[in-house]
């Protein structure tokens, strides 16, 4: 597992969701493009070509409240057994984190990664 696994998984998710209504994968692709989380070893060490293993990521209590909220939202969008998420936390997000959160929710609803949501862009 490495940072290149994150990049490869994101590319795979974007390809798959562009071929059909894969909202869950589109939401994960958004988070995989957000370097502040996806570029963090605590995250990418739990990513491989099969996907993201959210359980150990969410079990790590060293994430900030806002980082954990984004990860938990993505996990819930991927598989609702990881939910529910306290939606009230959205008010504590700065503009960058809010945009990523919004893009994940939009991606889950539409099955498409929103334009401008790119790897390394921060959102």
Are 49 and 12 in contact, with CB atoms under 8 Å apart?
yes
Q: Which domain holds residue 71?
A: 3-110
- Tell me the C-alpha distance between 123 and 97, whole Å: 8
The verdict on residue 115 lying in a domain is: no
pLDDT at 36: 95
10 in any annotated domain: yes
In a domain, 116, yes or no: no
Number of independent structural domains in the chain = 1
Report the distance separating Cα 47 and Cα 54, nearest Å. Answer: 9
97 belongs to a structural domain: yes
Per the confidence metrics, is the pTM higher than 0.75?
yes
pLDDT tens, position by position, 88-119:
999 999 999 999 999 999 998 888 888 876 54
* Residue 65: band (very low, low, confident or very high) from pLDDT cuts 50, 70, 90: very high
Structural element, H or E, at residue 31:
helix 23-32
For the chain, the residue count is 123
């Amino acid at each position: 597992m490495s940072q290149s696994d994150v990049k490869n998984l994101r590319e795979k998710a974007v390809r798959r969701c562009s071929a059909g209504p894969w909202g869950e994968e589109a939401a994960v692709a958004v988070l995989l493009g957000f370097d502040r989380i996806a570029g963090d070893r605590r995250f990418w060490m739990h990513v491989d070509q099969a996907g993201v293993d959210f359980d150990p990521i969410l079990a790590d209590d060293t994430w900030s409240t806002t980082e954990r909220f984004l990860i938990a939202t993505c996990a819930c969008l991927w598989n609702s057994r990881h939910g529910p998420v306290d939606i009230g936390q959205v008010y504590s997000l700065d503009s960058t984190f809010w945009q990523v959160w919004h893009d994940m929710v939009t991606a889950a609803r539409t099955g498409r990664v929103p334009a401008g949501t790119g790897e390394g862009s921060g959102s």
